[in-house]
Amino acid sequence: MTEKEKNSMLFREPDTYKINVLINSVMLAIHLILMVLYILAHVKVMIIANVVSIIFYLLGYIFIKRGRTIGFFSLVFVEVAIHAILACLYIGYDAGFQLWFFALAALYFYPQFSNQGRIPGRLSVTFPIFSIILYFALFFAHVYCVIPDCLVSQRMHYVMNGFNSLAVFIAISFFTYLFATSIIRSRNRMNYQMNHDALTGLMNRYALHQVTEDAKARSDRTGEPFSLAMVDIDNFKYINDNYGYEFGNFVIFSVAEEIRKITDDEEFSAGRYGGEKFLFVYTREPSSEAMKYKMEKFRTSIEHMQLNSGGREVHITVSIGVAKFHKGDDYDIVLKQAHDNLYRAKREGKNRVI
């Protein structure tokens, strides 16, 4: 799997339209099941209320299709709250309909976590608080005998309580999963931005430092050397001055794409060191000649690239300096050696590997 594919999986946003349709469909299915229970329990008021709820969720598909997510979930909040209150009054507290107020708080935060819009001002806090107030209002109403324990048969009471408890548990678990995955995606995105160059998508200098530290630790542990190569785009100032900075960025990006083709390998890493410079780290082969061979192939691929600016064909080349790190070496000195070889390549005519 390439780095691009890995990043795509890490940052892939969920299909919020499909999730919204799923939520609406599940709520519709719940009310269809409740309709059967209400009919079996002969609770006429709840049958009528449930017909209204079913019609609402059928219309919910239109809200979702038009992208009115905040409005839709606000109406879901109102529907569930009214339905739960009526069910407590006409079926009884012990049937468990008050439990739905726990799910409502999680439901109302979902659109914000999924980047579907922000809840206006105070409403973002008012609705969850209101759901808690309603829950305790029903609780104390039950305690002071305003709401009866049960107005249906004992068997139906157990069935409804079990159904509501299971449905609320699944709802809270589902929204918890959505919140957790949203946080994980945000964390992955932040880690990626911290370790990768914004223009090229290659590792940045900070990430390269981590790679070289790991390579150095491995070399000190096993005694095997590793190679470095510093790459610089030739005549880059001339390119910026004559073709513009946007084309200069395009040149850097194009070189990075060529780098990406040869570094989908944990033992052969590369990143943007700064400006028009790139750094390669190769740990597979201890010989610096192996690194020079790979760099020569890379240099040739850059030389044969065809870039176009305003109808003019532009050829670019790179100069490359290679150095070898042995166990016990000072990394900064080896890196300076790679720099020195790079500038030696520049002095000797550019477009070469030394």
The pLDDT tens digits of the residues spanning 279-318 come to 999 887 656 788 888 899 999 999 999 899 888 889 999 9
Per the model's pLDDT, the better-predicted residue between 13 and 210 turns out to be 210
The most distant pair of C-alpha atoms in the chain lies apart, rounded to whole Å, by 96
Q: Give the C-alpha distances (Å, rounded to integers) separating 114 from 25, 71, 269.
A: 18, 15, 35
Strand partners, 233: 318
Residue 309 pLDDT: 84
Strands (E), the chain: 226-233, 268-274, 277-282, 307-309, 312-314, 318-325
- Tell me the pTM: 0.69
Which DSSP helix (H) or strand (E) runs through 261?
helix 245-262
Buried b (16+ CB within 10 A) or exposed e, 99-129: bbbbbbbbbbbbbebbebeebeeeeeeebbe
Q: Which residues contact 40 (CB under 8 A, 6 or more apart)?
A: 156
Residue with tokens 């020569």: 296
8 Å CB contact between 73 and 114: no
Which DSSP helix (H) or strand (E) runs through 216?
helix 205-222
Q: How confident is the model at residue 130 (pLDDT cuts 50, 70, 90)?
A: confident
- The answer to whether residue 337 scores a pLDDT higher than 70 is yes
- The answer to whether residue 118 scores a pLDDT higher than 70 is no
Q: How confident is the model at residue 109 (pLDDT cuts 50, 70, 90)?
A: confident
- The answer to whether residue 7 scores a pLDDT higher than 60 is no
The answer to which of 93-102, 261-270, 340-349 has the lowest mean pLDDT is 261-270
The pLDDT tens digits of the residues spanning 241-264 come to 999 999 999 999 999 999 998 886
CA–CA separation, 290 and 297 (whole Å): 11
Residue 83 pLDDT: 94
Domains defined for the chain, CATH in brackets: 3-195 (no CATH), 205-347 (3.30.70.270)
